[in-house]
Amino acid sequence: MGLLSSSKGSESSSSLASVGTATLNGAQLTLTLLEKAVDGTNIPFVKGVAGVAVEVIKIAKAIQTNREECDNLMKKATSLLVVILGSLKGKTEDAIPDHLKSAVERLTTSFQEVLAELRIIEKRVGKRSLGGLARAILYYVDNGEKLNDCSAKLDWAMGEFQVTSKVDSCLKDLERHEELKQGQKELREGQEKMDQNIKASRVEIRDGLTEIRDVMKEQIMAKNPQSE
């Protein structure tokens, strides 16, 4: 079974292609499109990382403070999720190599760590009115640092996954190149064998014609002995 189900594949692919534009047009639209894309995912470990990523985006959207840092984190999480879904789109679970599966597992861990931090920040924000202005300012600064750390973690995760995907793509290109070379070799060997068969056929035809000529000559001489 492919990454995108046959019933939802077209809609999910369209949703995925629209996410980048939607990020600029509105967070809620982005979430809607991402959720549609995730719904079309049939591979469990891909659905797992996608689900955590969507949860990260939802909480970052809901936090009412440090909006610049939250928006930045949302964009990074969205971009990373689009890269993941785009890289694995149309593939079956068996067709995904182990090193790429491991990369997705590491991505899941990164998203889970970011999600844990966001839940702490979300809880803090909910209690900010209880601690007075000084605590609110302290939380604001600390939250900003933690959100920036989360963004840096996703940057690193993005880079690692893209490198792994590139390696996978290069390996596939190398395999295709080797297959092409093998195909060319087989074609060349086939052509050589065909040439040999044609050459052998020409010899057989020539020998056959010579034999026919000799037989006809003997017949003629037998009928006209004086021709000697």
pLDDT level of residue 145 (50, 70, 90 thresholds): very high
Give me the pLDDT at residue 131, please. 59
**C-beta of residue 139 within 8 angstroms of C-beta of residue 125:** yes
Supply 162's token pair: 């893209």
Nearest to 117 by CA among 148, 71, 141, 83: 148
Give me the pLDDT at residue 114, please. 94
Question: pTM score, two decimals?
Answer: 0.60
Supply 93's token pair: 């679970």
Supply 227's token pair: 């021709």
pLDDT digits (tens, 9 = 90+) for 120-140: 998 887 765 555 677 778 778
Which DSSP symbol is given to 90? T
Give me the pLDDT at residue 29, please. 57
pLDDT digits (tens, 9 = 90+) for 160-189: 888 887 876 665 655 666 666 666 767 777
C-alpha to C-alpha distance for 65 and 47, rounded to whole angstroms: 30
Which DSSP symbol is given to 126? H
Which distant-in-sequence residues (6+ apart) come within 8 Å of 47 by Cβ? Answer: 38, 41
Which DSSP symbol is given to 65? S
Supply 49's token pair: 């990382």
Q: List phi, psi (to 5°) of 2.
A: -80, 170
Which DSSP symbol is given to 3? S
Give me the pLDDT at residue 12, please. 46
pLDDT digits (tens, 9 = 90+) for 42-65: 788 888 888 899 899 999 988 888
**DSSP-assigned beta bridge partners for residue 41:** 4
- Please classify residue 53 by burial: count the beta carbons closer than 10 Å to its beta carbon, then call 0-12 exposed, 13-18 middle and 19+ buried: buried
Q: How many CA atoms lie within 13 A of 52 on its CB side?
A: 23
What is the number of H-type helices and E-type strands within the chain? 6, 0
